[in-house]
């Protein structure tokens, strides 16, 4: 679910503050709504929205921000437009959005609550915006100020739905987190119907007016008013009782005979007034209780409907969760089968690797014996050793590549192809080992003759070194410097020329050495050919390795896709679990509220049952008092003094009120 998936429904007027781009405009226009009012602070976006509102009577755009004081404010425009705000950012905002940078600071007009209400009600052709209103709020960092202005303009009373986009933490200086904003709206009589947490750092709350809470709040205010009125009436009653007492004391001296009647009349009048007050209070309380009971019954019906919808949604999520779990089990089973196949392939590859390593060890042993034989010739030794070193390097590279190939093969799905590759490599290595064995036998025969000649060469070289140390040094430097076959031969020839110039007696020895070098060159040629063959094999293995790498890359992509699908499935399962938990919480809350409503209803019914007999008794007392007053007036007419006149007036007034009551 994206942040614009949820749209209001029903014939209502929608007011969107901080809409930004027009991406959601199409979804809002599809609503069966009366008016669509967009309030945008950023100048370019407001102009774009205004162009789309041309010749459309249902769409209106206001370029302004909302605040307590009119004038202008600075809007910070970021490279991420939905983060534009009138407030300075905190470091946490840059932490959550790396690469965030400020693009511009715009001066925007600010509307006060009165100006906001006037602008909305004065929109041409509206005749005032009638409730219900649906408020959508996307003003980062400025949420509370906008809500307070909305309330001050008496628009919150006309709003029944609110969609609030708010961060979980304080991302702007002076702002409030989502939880505090939610508490503020709940205190104003709204309740959260749903929340979108696709972005865990930026929640979207959907709230609806809770008429039960609002009715209870108004009832509490009415109770407080009635309590104050009762206190006032008690004070007036006390004053009247004091006045009656003073009149009774004055009448003691003037009218001893009428004392009993006057006192009785005073008491009756007092009781009558108290009964009338109580009856009025009971009637008002009864009317208010009935109204509250009707409101609660209506709210209870709405809650039952919402509860049924929540239960249906919970059933849908449970079904989706079961399907997701089944898919996860199937994937887990397939993954286990693939792991078993890979393990079997790895075991078979390890067997071939061991056989290949044994063959290579045998070849390396033969090469080492060949190198030891070649060391008999000092001049040939370095050159042959160099070629052997290059051949050993090539073999080592081939071994490394073969090892890498084996490691790649271990991850391949088709174990038969990998086994065939290893078998081919093993056959080639065995053939190379047989060739080296044959060449070793031939070299041994050649080396036997070379060793005899090398003994003579070494003796002559020792004499030459004693006679010409410079020539020996040049010869040693030449032997050390040879890298390639042609370079080494040139170095030997140059050294031999210099040696002949310095010591002619060494000419014969140098000639014999050149002959030995020529034989060594033949061996070097053989080594070069073997090296070329090894390089050719290496290139073939590299091609095979490249193909295996491609297959391995494809397999890795498949594994990555499987892992991504598995992670996506886990995320979907987690989301479904969170939704189920939220639905369970909502269901428990609804059940708790339903229980509270039933308890309140039962208490009110008990109160009505208690009030009914009291009201009946009050009516009977009023009727009896009315009859007694009429009888007394017919039997006795009191003396026309001030006290009797006042008592008569009270009695007459009480009788008339009783008759009106009747």
| Residue-wise pLDDT tens digits, 503-528 | 677 667 657 766 766 776 676 677 66
Strands 36-40, 59-63: pairing is: parallel
Range in 56-70, 492-506, 599-613 the model is least confident about: 492-506
**CA distance to 25, 78, 113, 329, 407, per residue, from 152 (Å):** 28, 30, 6, 56, 73
Q: Which residues contact 524 (CB under 8 A, 6 or more apart)?
A: 383, 384, 387, 485
Give residue 594's pLDDT.
Answer: 86
Give residue 85's pLDDT.
Answer: 92
Tokens 């919480």 sit on residue: 585
Range list of β-strands (E), 32-116: 36-40, 59-63, 65-66, 71-78, 102-111
Token pair of 378, please?
């000092």
Q: Model-level pTM?
A: 0.37
pLDDT tens for residues 23-41? Answer: 777 777 666 667 888 999 9
Write down the number of H helices and E strands in the chain: 14, 10
Average pLDDT, the chain: 76
Most confident region among 135-149, 489-503, 615-629 by mean pLDDT: 135-149
Q: Does position 7 have pLDDT exceeding 50, yes or no?
A: no
Rounded CA-CA distance 153/114 in Å is: 6
Rounded CA-CA distance 259/249 in Å is: 9
Range in 134-138, 166-170, 507-511, 526-530 the model is least confident about: 507-511
Contact, 72 vs 110, CB < 8 A? yes
Cis peptide before 644, with omega less than 30 degrees from 0?
A: no
Q: Does position 531 have pLDDT exceeding 80, yes or no?
A: no
Rounded CA-CA distance 310/316 in Å is: 10
pLDDT tens for residues 227-255? Answer: 888 888 888 888 878 887 887 787 777 77
Backbone phi, then psi, for 397, in 5-degree steps? -60, -40
Most confident region among 339-343, 401-405, 531-535, 597-601 by mean pLDDT: 597-601
Strands 71-78, 102-111: pairing is: antiparallel
Token pair of 406, please?
């084996």
pLDDT tens for residues 422-477? Answer: 568 667 767 766 776 686 677 667 667 756 765 665 676 567 667 757 665 755 67
Domains of the chain, CATH where assigned: 13-209 (3.40.50.150), 216-308+603-661 (no CATH), 341-556 (no CATH)
DSSP annotation string for 198-256: SSTTEEEEEEEE-HHHHHHHHHHHHHHHHHHHHHHHHHHHHHHHHHHHHHHHHHHHH-S
Band of residue 660 on the pLDDT scale cut at 50, 70, 90:
very low
Band of residue 596 on the pLDDT scale cut at 50, 70, 90:
confident
Q: Does position 398 have pLDDT exceeding 50, yes or no?
A: yes
Strands 102-111, 190-196: pairing is: unpaired
Q: Does position 65 have pLDDT exceeding 70, yes or no?
A: yes
Token pair of 314, please?
């919970």
**In 3D, which of 629, 524, 612 has the Cα closest to residue 285?**
612
Give the rounded distance of the alpha carbon of 175 from its chain centre. Answer: 21
Q: Does position 479 have pLDDT exceeding 70, yes or no?
A: no
Residues in the chain: 662
Question: Within 13 A of 412's CA, how many CA atoms are on the CB side?
Answer: 22
Angle at 265 between CA 263 and CA 266, to 5 degrees: 65
Strands 13-17, 133-137: pairing is: parallel
Q: Which residues contact 4 (CB under 8 A, 6 or more apart)?
A: 23, 24, 27
Question: Within 13 A of 354's CA, how many CA atoms are on the CB side?
Answer: 6
């Amino acid at each position: 679910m994206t942040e614009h998936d949820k749209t209001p429904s029903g014939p209502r007027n929608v007011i969107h503050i901080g809409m930004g781009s027009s991406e959601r405009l199409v979804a809002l226009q599809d609503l069966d709504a009366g008016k669509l009012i967009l309030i945008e602070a950023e100048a370019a976006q407001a102009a774009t929205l205004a162009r789309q509102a041309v010749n459309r009577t249902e769409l209106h755009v206001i370029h302004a921000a909302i605040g307590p004081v009119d004038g202008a404010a600075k809007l910070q425009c970021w490279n991420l437009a939905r983060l534009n705000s009138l407030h300075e950012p905190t470091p946490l905002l840059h932490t959550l959005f790396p690469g965030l940078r400020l693009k511009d600071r715009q001066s925007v007009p600010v509307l006060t609550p009165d100006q906001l209400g006037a602008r909305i009600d004065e929109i041409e052709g509206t005749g005032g915006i009638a409730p219900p209103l649906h408020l959508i709020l996307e003003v980062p960092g400025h949420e509370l100020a906008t809500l307070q202005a909305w309330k001050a303009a008496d628009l919150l009373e006309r709003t029944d739905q609110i969609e609030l986009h708010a961060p979980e933490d304080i991302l702007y200086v002076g702002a409030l987190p989502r939880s505090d904003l939610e508490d503020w709206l709940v205190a104003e009589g709204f309740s959260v119907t749903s929340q979108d947490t696709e972005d865990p750092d930026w929640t979207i709350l959907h709230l609806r007016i809770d008429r039960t809470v609002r009715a209870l709040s108004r009832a509490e205010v009415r109770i407080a008013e009635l309590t104050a009125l009762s206190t006032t009436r008690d004070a007036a009653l006390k004053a009247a009782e004091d006045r009656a007492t003073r009149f009774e004391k004055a009448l003691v001296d003037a009218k001893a005979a009428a004392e009993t009647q006057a006192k009785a009349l005073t008491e009756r009048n007092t009781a009558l007034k108290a009964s009338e007050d109580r009856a009025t209070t009971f009637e008002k309380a009864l009317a208010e209780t009935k109204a509250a009971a009707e409101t609660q019954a209506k709210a209870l019906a709405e809650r039952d409907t919402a509860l049924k919808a929540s239960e249906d949604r919970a059933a849908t999520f449970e079904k989706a969760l079961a399907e997701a779990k089944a898919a996860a089990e199937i994937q887990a089973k397939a993954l286990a089968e693939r792991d078993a196949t890979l393990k079997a392939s790895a075991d078979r590859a390890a067997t071939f690797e061991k056989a290949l390593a044994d063959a290579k060890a045998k070849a390396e042993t033969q090469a080492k014996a060949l190198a030891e034989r070649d060391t008999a010739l000092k001049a040939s030794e370095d050159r042959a050793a160099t070629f052997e070193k290059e051949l050993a390097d090539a073999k080592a590279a081939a071994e490394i590549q073969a090892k890498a190939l084996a490691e790649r093969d271990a991850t391949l799905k088709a174990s038969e192809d990998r086994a065939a590759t290893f078998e081919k490599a093993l056959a080639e290595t065995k053939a190379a080992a047989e060739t080296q064995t044959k060449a070793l036998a031939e070299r041994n025969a050649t080396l036997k003759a070379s060793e005899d000649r090398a003994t003579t060469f070494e003796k002559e070289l020792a004499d030459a070194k004693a006679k010409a140390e410079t020539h020996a040094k040049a010869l040693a430097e030449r032997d050390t410097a040879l890298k390639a076959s042609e370079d080494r031969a040139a170095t030997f020839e140059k050294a031999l020329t210099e040696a002949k110039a310095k010591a002619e007696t060494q000419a014969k020895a140098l000639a014999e050495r050149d002959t030995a070098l020529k034989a060594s060159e033949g061996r070097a040629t053989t080594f070069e050919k073997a090296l070329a063959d090894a390089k050719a094999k290496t290139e073939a293995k590299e091609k095979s390795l490249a193909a295996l790498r491609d297959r391995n890359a494809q397999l890795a992509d498949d594994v990555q896709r499987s892992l991504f699908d598995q992670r996506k499935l886990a995320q979907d399962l987690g989301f479904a679990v969170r939704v189920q938990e939220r639905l369970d919480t909502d269901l428990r809350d609804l059940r708790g509220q339903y229980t509270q409503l039933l308890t309140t209803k039962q208490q009110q019914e008990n109160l009505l049952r208690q009030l009914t007999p009291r009201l009946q008794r009050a009516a009977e007392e009023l009727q009896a008092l009315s009859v007694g007053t009429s009888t007394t007036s017919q039997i006795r007419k009191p003396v026309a003094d001030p006290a009797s006149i006042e008592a008569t007036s009270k009695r007459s007034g009480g009788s008339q009120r009783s008759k009106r009551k009747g």
